[in-house]
Chains A and B, each alone.
Chain A
Amino acid sequence: MSPLATSPPVSGTGEGAAHDLLPSPKVETARMVGLYVVSVGVALGVIAVLVLAVGHAPGSVFTALYQGSVATPGALGRTLDDTIPVILVALGTLVAVRAGMFNIGQTGQLVFGAVCAAFIALKVHGPGPLVLILALVCGLAGGAVWAGLAALLYAWRRINVVISTLLLTYVATQVLDYLVSSQRFLEEPSSSPIGALPQSAILPANVDLPHPGAYPSFGVSLGIVIALVIFGAFAVLMARSPWGMRLRMVGANPTAARRFGIRVAAVAGGALVISGALAGLAGSIMLTGEVYRITGGFANTFGNDGLLAALVCRDRPGWLLPVSFVFGVIRSGGNYFLSTGVPDYLALVLRGLLVLALVFPPVYLERREWARRLKAARVLVLRGSRAVAEKGSVS
């Protein structure tokens, strides 16, 4: 089992009451694999039909997906570059979920982190590595602050985190739009041609994240090392540290956690802040390691990819790295669809289908579990225990 997977495989907010009613984890895993075969098969089938319908050969699309993602060393490098932010965002999401905080504002936190990093990288002059480190740290802090706002609202008035983080994302993208279209702040001074989207200047080359190797040969930014080290550290902390255990207690039973002397608001809010920090770091690594300039569309759905990856491996944290990699594959391979001549709107649809195939099985199983719990709850409201209806268990 993965180091993160110390909690029992029952997910969601209901307590273990439905335990008796659930299939064992082994059955569940087998079912999950089966569902994946089906869902990916269906997605590929639909893709083939769609591609045929617009008059192209389906085979060429699949080849493109493969060629563009893993077939060549260069493509593999790009895929890994695309995997980095997904790992970080998904990891943060899982940390927050453990404490019962459903952060869905990763995009906003990523954007705000990247904005902070861009300010440092563009406005601070000094030795490159120093500025780079400062930019990454500020990016991390920016994401933390952005999530911290939601954490404060939660601690202060128990404002629902789902809502506050979501709304803060809109604010963050507005802030970004304003900053990159204002010469006083981030907009490229040498003014872009009329009609082009506003963007910042390119970062000075000496503050770029080292990127050993370059396309077409294998190359990946140093961000991958950062992401893996952070993942490893969190895996250990979540599984082995008192903090990790407190986190789970707060998520599973806040009242009991309070009895054990745990400061629930601090732990839960802290988890949210960590989640934001990791998203902010993801944004700054994207900025300094891959994109090199910030634009209105900077987030490029990386925040959502991370969120979806976390959704896929919520109960199986060990899957986080491979799942993130698959998201990278879909993204970098999906960019190659255009090379086969399919129209760009269709390329987006195809990518969406693949993501859907990836997310469907766990979500389906979870929904089914909820349906089962709902039934169990009805049943238990009838005879059973307060447990499922509220929390607790049958005994």
Chain B
Amino acid sequence: MSIDGTADLSRIAESTRTPRPSREEGGGIRSSSDVRVELENVTKRFGPVVACRGVSLAVRQGEVHGLLGENGAGKTTLMKVLIGLVPGDGGEVRLGGRPVVVKDPVHAAALGLAMAQQHFSLVERLKVWENVALAHRGKMGRREATRAIGEIGERYGLTADANARVEDLTMGQRQRVELLKCLSLKPGVLILDEPTSVLTKAESRELFSVLRQVVQVDGLAVVLISHKLDEVLEVTDVVTIMRDGSVVAELRTAEADAHRLAKAMVGREVLLQADMAAVGLLDEEAARAASEAPAGSAGTAPTAGTAPSASVPAQPAPALRLVGVSARGPDGRLVLDELSIEVAAGEIVGIAGVDGNGQAAIGEVMSGILSVEAGTIEVAGREVAPRAASLMRAGVAVIPEDRHASGCVLRMSVEENLVAAELDVFRGRTGLLDKKAIRARALELIANFDITCPSPQVPMSALSGGNQQRVVLARELSRDPRVVIAVQPTRGLDVGAIEYVSEQLRAAAANGAGILLVSSELDELVALAHRVAVIHGGRIIGEMTRGRIDVERLGLLMGGRVA
């Protein structure tokens, strides 16, 4: 596979560090002097939860070290212990062979450990250069920061507008800024926590070429946490797999394949989306559904629905119809431009597109938090006012893109978050909330959606990133919705969870829901959607049915060229 920009980048020879011209091939023996960072027997407990139990890990210089594991396996926690963000309960950290006690991330930075966090560490209101300067704790002025951004940008092919405000950037651009910020500290060890979960394929590739350069030319050691097996296979040299707080496998990437990794991670065989796409599961299912009967019975949803709207009326009206919907973002820019689309009951319609072309806005409009300037929304043939309460009552469930910031209330408990959208259901005869019913419901959802949490009463903030997302998914999908708007629903989930979400979305569709699946993962769209529409500049500019998805044409469409 070709690596964009490598030729250009290799021109830049000078480096602050000892250059390592090439990696040794074939996974040979390495001297221990190659080891940059070593974690030994690191243990971390959160109350009864053991996030890391005696984890040992050695990261060598000139290597990309993949860290894999299910949601809640303890990957983030392990790295947080390493950079001193949380104190470990036991074990040792050694840097270049010498034991160190990393007091806090500032200290870690001084020791050459830089980490890009799972949910970024950027101040949205500030400009790019200000964020970079902040990383240097005010020891850097505007001019130096801008220069550093320019230099690093040129060196690694990571361009960013130093004067742009972070809040105006797409997720991909933010990730780039986060990386720039880390690199500006000239670290010896770079830790990236799920950097690609918000990136498009092209952006990921760009990131990987940077990673290759920092390990090969600059001789850094890189730790890469990711749930995407194909990229782990593509970019890492060694993979460590964690399950339930312990290391269950460590292997050289050259000896691994996707199924092996998935199995080691989850402890069972997993059906990957790529397989689904290849096997054409959906077609089989559709054929079966067609032969069996009209709608309704194919679902295997484990949810004990509260308000059964499952029996799908055999009406011709689509589950969802958007007609000429326009909306403006907070900055006055048109984010949806007379968007029209229809989703039939039982259908999954995919929306593909380059990030920042209105995908997030679809979710916001359908949640009623972005006001509609023109156009109408119809659910099951009836027009619905574009307000949160009306949309919810009409049976619209939204899995928002920005789950972390607006999909849940981090300070409130898991159980409260699970029932937040249907409080009225839990109103007892006295008008007060029925706590027992809430607890029971929460436990049921926690079991059904396999949410790892110490108890339903802990605050959301104590859950791992992937488990927070499962809570949102559980809340939205368990309401027996008529329409599901799923914006990047598998972002940040482990392979097992992705399999599960895929099943859930299919089951919801089989139960008669119309599903609008917004995703930047082509595999996901091909695996799940009956139809894929392409969004560009806030409007749908093309569409193809599943059978005849033409990747090349899709690419052209995504770029805004009507082909």
The residues in B between 66 and 88 inclusive whose CB is less than 8 angstroms from any CB of A are 76, 80, 83, 85-86
Chain A, 231-274, CB within 8 A of any chain B CB: 236, 240-242, 245-246, 248-249, 252-253, 255-263
Residue of A nearest to B405 (CB): A392
Evaluate contact between A379 and B105: CB separation under 8 angstroms: yes
- Contact assessment for B135 and A382 in the assembled complex, using a CB-CB cutoff below 8 Å: yes
Contact at B408–A395, with CB atoms within 8 Å? no
Interface 9-residue window, one of B259-267, B332-340, B430-438, B534-542 = B430-438
- With a cutoff of 8 Å between Cβ atoms, the chain B residues found around residue A385 in the complex are 117-121
- Contact B368 A258, beta carbon cutoff 8 Å: yes
Q: Which residue of chain B has the shortest Cβ distance to A244 in the bound complex?
A: B433
Tell me whether B412 is interfacial, beta carbon within 8 Å.
yes
> Is the CB–CB distance between B369 and A383 below 8 Å?
no
Q: Are A245 and B468 in contact (CB under 8 A)?
A: no
With beta carbons under 8 angstroms apart, the residue of B83, B121, B392, B416 that contacts A389 is: B121
**CB-CB < 8 A to A384: which residues of B?**
85, 105, 117, 121
Given contacts A253-B410, A381-B134, A392-B410, contact A386 B121 (CB under 8 A): yes
- Identify the 8 closest CB pairs spanning chains A and B, nearest first: A16-B461, A393-B461, A261-B389, A383-B105, A395-B465, A255-B406, A240-B432, A261-B388
A395-B461 Cα distance, complex, nearest whole Å: 7
Interface hits, B459-488 → A, CB 8 Å:
459-465, 468
Closest B residue by C-beta to A379: B105
Which residues on B are within 8 Å of A, measured CB to CB? Answer: 76, 80, 83, 85-86, 104-106, 108-109, 114-115, 117-125, 131, 134-135, 137, 367-369, 388-389, 391-392, 398, 400, 404-413, 416, 420-421, 423-424, 426-427, 431-433, 435, 459-465, 468
Cβ B461 vs Cβ A242 within 8 A: no
Measured in the bound complex, the distance between the Cα atoms of B111 and A383 in whole Å is 13
CA distance A246 to B423 in the complex (A): 9
Residues of chain A from 366 to 395 with CB closer than 8 A to chain B in the complex: 378-387, 389-395
A7 interface contact, C-beta 8 A: yes
Inter-chain contact A380/B121, CB cutoff 8 Å: yes
Q: Which of B125, B411, B460, B462 has the most CB of A within 10 A?
A: B411
User: Do A380 and B105 touch across chains, with their CB atoms under 8 A apart?
Assistant: yes
* Residues of chain A at the chain B interface (Cβ within 8 Å): 7-8, 10, 15-17, 19-21, 236, 240-242, 245-246, 248-249, 252-253, 255-263, 378-387, 389-395
Flag if A15 contacts B407 (CB, 8 Å).
no
The residue of chain B having its C-beta at the shortest distance from the C-beta of A24 within the complex is B47
Q: How far is the CA of A39 from the CA of B439 in the complex (A)?
A: 41
How many Å from the CB of A375 to the closest CB on chain B? 8
User: Using Cβ atoms and an 8 Å threshold, which residues of chain B touch A253?
Assistant: 406, 408-411
A-B contact count (CB 8 A): 173
A259 touches B404 (CB 8 A): no
What distance in Å separates the Cβ of A47 from its nearest Cβ neighbour in chain B?
40
CA distance A248 to B367 in the complex (A): 20
Query: Which of A20, A21, A241, A259 has a CB less than 8 Å from the CB of B406?
Result: A259
Cα(A382)–Cα(B182), bound, Å: 8
Contacts of B459 in A (CB 8 A): 8, 10, 16, 19
Docked CA distance A195–B37 (Å) = 82
By a CB distance below 8 angstroms, the chain A residues around B462 are 16, 19
B109, B120, B367, B406: the one contacting A386 at CB < 8 Å is B120
B405: chain A residues at CB < 8 Å are 255-256, 391-392
Tell me, in angstroms, the Cα distance from A32 to B253 when the chains sit together.
53
Q: Are B105 and A249 in contact (CB under 8 A)?
A: no
Interface centre among B416, B424, B432, B461 (most CB of A within 10 A): B461
Q: Could you tell me the distance between the alpha carbons of A214 and B109 in the complex, rounded to whole angstroms?
A: 70
A7: chain B residues within 8 A (beta carbon):
411-412
Which residues of A have CB within 8 Å of B413?
8
Task: Say which residue of B119, B410, B420, B432 sits within 8 Å of A241 (CB atoms).
Answer: B432
Contacts of A382 in B (CB 8 A): 105-106, 109, 121, 134-135, 137
With A17-B461, A387-B119, A395-B464 known to touch, is A242 a contact of B433 (CB < 8 Å)?
A: yes
Which residues from B are CB-within-8-Å of A21? 86
Q: Which of A8, A20, A390 contacts B86 (CB 8 A)?
A: A20
Nearest-neighbour CB distance to chain A for B80, whole angstroms, equals 7
CA distance A247 to B482 in the complex (A): 28
A394 touching B432, Cβ below 8 Å: no
A392 and B119 in contact (CB under 8 A), knowing A242-B433, A258-B369?
A: yes
Tell me the complex Cα distance, A261–B425, Å: 14
How close is B468's CB to chain A, nearest CB, in angstroms?
Answer: 6
**9 further contact pairs, Cβ within 8 A, besides A15-B410, A393-B404:** A8-B413, A16-B461, A240-B433, A242-B423, A259-B369, A381-B123, A386-B122, A392-B405, A395-B464
A16 to B123, CA, bound (A): 17
CA distance A384 to B137 in the complex (A): 13
> Are B368 and A255 in contact, CB atoms less than 8 angstroms apart?
no
- Given A261-B388, A383-B105, check contact A16 B411 (CB 8 Å): yes
Contact yes or no, A381 B392, CB < 8 A: no
Query: Once the chains bind, are A252 and B123 in contact (CB under 8 Å)?
Result: no
- Complex-state Cα separation, A248 to B135, whole angstroms: 34
CB-based nearest A residue for B398: A259
Check A389/B123 contact, CB under 8 A, given A19-B462, A248-B412, A252-B409: yes
Inter-chain contact B134/A256, CB cutoff 8 Å: no
Chain B residues, CB < 8 A from A378: 106, 134, 137
Closest residue of chain B to A8 (Cβ to Cβ) is B459
Query: In whole angstroms, what is the CA distance A150 to B224 when docked?
Result: 51
Q: A260 to B468, Cβ gap below 8 A?
A: no
Find out whether the CB atom of B404 lies under 8 angstroms from the CB atom of A392.
Answer: yes
In the complex, A381 Cα to B109 Cα: how many Å? 12
Query: Of A252, A259, A385, A391, which is in contact with the most chain B CB atoms at under 10 Å from its CB?
Result: A259
In the assembled complex, how far is the CB of residue B239 from the closest CB belonging to chain A, in whole angstroms?
A: 22
Q: Is the CB of A15 within 8 A of B432?
A: no
Complex: A390 Cα to B125 Cα, angstroms: 9
Q: Which residues of A contact B427 (CB under 8 A)?
A: 242
Contacts of B105 in A (CB 8 A): 379-380, 382-384
Could you give 22 example pairs across A and B, Cβ below 8 Å? A8-B459, A10-B459, A16-B461, A21-B86, A241-B431, A249-B412, A253-B406, A253-B408, A259-B388, A259-B398, A379-B85, A381-B123, A382-B105, A382-B109, A382-B137, A383-B109, A384-B85, A386-B122, A392-B404, A392-B410, A394-B76, A394-B85
**Assembly CA distance A114 to B284 (angstroms):** 75
What's the Cα separation between A287 and B555 when bound, in Å? Answer: 75
CA distance A51 to B435 in the complex (A): 55
**What are the residues of chain A within 8 A of B388 when measuring CB–CB?**
258-262
Residue pair A383, B435 in contact (C-beta under 8 Å): no
Shortest beta-carbon distance from B464 to chain A in Å? 6
Give the Cβ gap from B409 to chain A, nearest Cβ, in Å.
4
Most buried by A among B76, B80, B121, B404: B121
Chain B residue contacts of A16, Cβ below 8 A: 410-411, 459-462
